[in-house]
Amino acid sequence: MMNNADGKVTVYNMSMDTVRYLPASTFKIANSLIGLEIGRITDEKMVIKWDGVMRRVEDWNKDLTMEDAFKVSSVPYYQEVARRIGKDTMQQWLDSLHYGNMKIGNHIDSFWLDNSLKISPDEQLGLVKRLYFDQLPFQKRTQQILRNVMTQEDNTLYTLSYKTGWGFDENNNSIGWMVGWIEENKHPYFFVTLVKSTDPNIDMRTVRLNITKGILKQYGFFEGGM
């Protein structure tokens, strides 16, 4: 976690902070930015029609807008976005962003899921901080659209914005992410949660959220006093 006011960084388990792991669905941050910037996604209301294939997540089995696809973390929607971007263009943008190891591998529609592309928690923190401050190499409109769709909770006390991810490394460990920021009194604190587990039955959706919110609460967030 990084307090933007003084630059103080708090790290739990330093040994994992600079190790790279597959980004899983946190790559939807970069995929969205690139898609929006080059017009493969016109805006957050752009619909990609459901292909009719029934998948395990019910929310994916319908036509989705970009903002809906981001919220329900639709893999098929963003696979189609990646195909529309194309391998050469995608590679140029990964290089420009210095995104992790910048490797696409052989499959344009799954490289963020199959351990070709990898990024560290430290690099994820840098990415969302630059996104918050309009410092990425994209138009301001592009970055503003993405900040809007990343907003998950917004009330008078705080705004919580993040993207989650869940995948498996080469050793079949569960890798869970939660990447974003919390803003209180117009002051942002950036955070990256990475959970690595050998438990095949882990409820990663619950675990990563509870860990992140638990730590933030420890530091006094959610009360509006920060």
Closest CA to 10 of 101, 121, 90, 106: 121
Which residues sit opposite 197 in a β-bridge? Answer: 174
Catalytic annotation, pick one of 15, 25, 161, 197 = 25
Q: Tokens 């959220």 sit at which residue? A: 209
| H helix and E strand count, the chain | 7, 8
H-run or E-run covering 28: helix 28-37
Which DSSP state fits 39? T
Q: Is 15 a catalytic residue?
A: no
Terminal Cα distance for the chain, rounded: 14
The catalytic residue positions are 25
